[in-house]
């Protein structure tokens, strides 16, 4: 298991870094007491289903627990447990500006003195910064720039260029998925629900699949949507967006949308994109 510890100054961008890490395949545990890192590693090793990559976010929000970090890192080193440290920082002036813009409180702030809190935190973190494998100064970064920098530092060139898509089927009668970036409607296709022999089946069944795909509109729809996604993927990446959530809807979410979502997922995979497919109504309304 590849291990990474993310730490650094409050307001420097750890949340954006965690979002990026999750998108590139890390199992992330935020604000974990240092002592529990060893427990997590031990449990994951025994379970047999451990994630390939795990990241722990440790910072001064842990209060007294944070003081255990030095000892935990020494213990991991003595136990030959390799873990890289990614340290995120920014200048005092930038951190102060960010706190004023967001009106958030610094975890060490007392009596409204943010500058004192920032400098105290910088002192508390000095020992771990000295041992960091990667240091990122986010002072001049926008969120998209920070996202790209993390990918550049942690991924191979081939991995950095990958764009992922989640294709989800759903039923309009149960509501449109709020997390969707794109929503496409396949109710223009004849509904297998009204075919007696297909009504109780789902889009996972070959008979339903063959029925839906035999209509001319299916092939042209699949080609146009898949081509659009593939052609726009590089443009999304330029804006710092590396994942697209595509929701495919029909009336009940059990026949047409399942077939089309499954076919789209296969086509996009064949075109070189990383794809995950999910079928909301089949999973939630058995």
For 124-161, write each residue's pLDDT tens digit: 899 889 989 999 999 888 877 788 788 888 876 566 55
Distances in Å between the Cα of 205 and the Cα atoms of 185, 197, 211, 252 are 21, 12, 10, 16
Same domain? 91 vs 109:
yes
Same domain? 113 vs 62:
yes
Same domain? 241 vs 279:
yes
Same domain? 32 vs 133:
yes
Whether pLDDT at 263 is above 90: yes
Residue 185 confidence (pLDDT): 97
Distance of CA 72 to the CA centre of its chain: 27
Query: What is the count of structural domains for the chain?
Result: 2
CA atoms of 4 and 38, how far apart (whole Å): 13
Whether pLDDT at 275 is above 90: no
Residue 209 confidence (pLDDT): 96
Mean pLDDT of the chain: 88
Q: Which of 42-46, 176-180, 210-214, 271-275 has the lowest mean pLDDT?
A: 42-46
For 211-244, write each residue's pLDDT tens digit: 999 998 999 999 999 999 999 998 888 777 778 9
Same domain? 271 vs 173:
yes
Reading across the β-sheet that carries 243-250, which strands appear in turn? 182-185, 243-250, 164-171, 274-279
Same domain? 147 vs 233:
no
Residue 158 confidence (pLDDT): 60
Q: Which of the listed residues 159, 188, 211 is the one where a domain comes to its end?
A: 159
Residue 161 confidence (pLDDT): 54
- Cα torsion through 185, 189, 195, 200, rounded to 10: -30
Residues 6+ apart with CB under 8 A from 239: 144
Whether pLDDT at 286 is above 70: no
Same domain? 154 vs 171:
no
Residue 259 confidence (pLDDT): 97
Q: Which of the listed residues 159, 190, 210 is the one where a domain comes to its end?
A: 159
Same domain? 99 vs 236:
no
Same domain? 36 vs 154:
yes
Same domain? 82 vs 144:
yes
For 153-190, write each residue's pLDDT tens digit: 887 656 655 678 999 999 999 999 988 999 999 999 99
For 53-107, write each residue's pLDDT tens digit: 899 998 888 776 677 888 888 888 888 888 899 999 999 999 998 888 877 788 8
Q: Are strands 243-250 and 164-171 parallel, antiparallel or unpaired?
A: parallel
Residue 48 confidence (pLDDT): 64
Range of the domain at 174: 164-284
Same domain? 16 vs 128:
yes
Nearest C-alpha neighbor of 151 from the set 10, 8, 16: 16
Residue 20 confidence (pLDDT): 87
Burial of 142 (0-12, 13-18, 19+ CB in 10 A): exposed
Q: Which of the listed residues 101, 136, 159 is the one where a domain comes to its end?
A: 159
Same domain? 187 vs 142:
no
Residue 5, beta-bridge partner list: 56, 85
Question: 148 or 200, which is more confident?
Answer: 200
């Amino acid at each position: 298991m590849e291990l990474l510890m993310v730490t650094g100054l409050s307001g420097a961008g750890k949340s954006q870094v965690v979002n990026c890490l999750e998108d590139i395949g890390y199992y992330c545990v935020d604000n974990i007491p240092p002592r529990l890192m060893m427990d997590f590693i031990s449990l994951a090793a025994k379970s047999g289903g451990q994630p390939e990559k795990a990241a722990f976010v440790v910072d001064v929000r842990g209060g007294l627990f944070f003081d255990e970090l030095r000892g935990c890192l020494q213990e991991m080193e003595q136990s030959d447990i390799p873990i890289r440290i990614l340290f995120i920082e920014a200048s005092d002036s930038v951190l102060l500006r960010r706190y004023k813009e967001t009106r958030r409180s610094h975890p060490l702030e007392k009596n409204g003195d943010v500058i004192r809190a920032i400098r105290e935190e910088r002192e508390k973190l000095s020992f771990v910064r000295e041992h960091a494998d990667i240091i990122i100064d986010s002072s001049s970064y926008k969120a998209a720039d920070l996202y790209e920098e993390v990918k550049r530092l942690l991924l191979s060139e081939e991995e950095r260029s990958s764009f992922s898509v989640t294709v989800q089927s759903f039923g309009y009668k149960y509501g449109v998925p709020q997390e969707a970036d794109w929503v496409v409607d396949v109710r223009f296709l004849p509904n297998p629900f009204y075919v007696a022999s297909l009504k109780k089946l789902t889009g996972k069944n070959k008979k339903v699949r063959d029925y839906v795909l035999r209509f001319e509109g299916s092939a042209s729809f699949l080609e146009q949507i898949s081509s659009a996604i593939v052609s726009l993927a590089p443009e999304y990446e330029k804006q710092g967006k590396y994942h697209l959530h595509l929701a495919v809807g029909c009336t009940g979410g059990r026949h047409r949308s399942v077939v089309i979502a499954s076919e789209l997922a296969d086509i996009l995979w064949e075109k070189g994109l990383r794809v995950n497919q999910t079928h909301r109504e089949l999973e939630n309304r058995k």
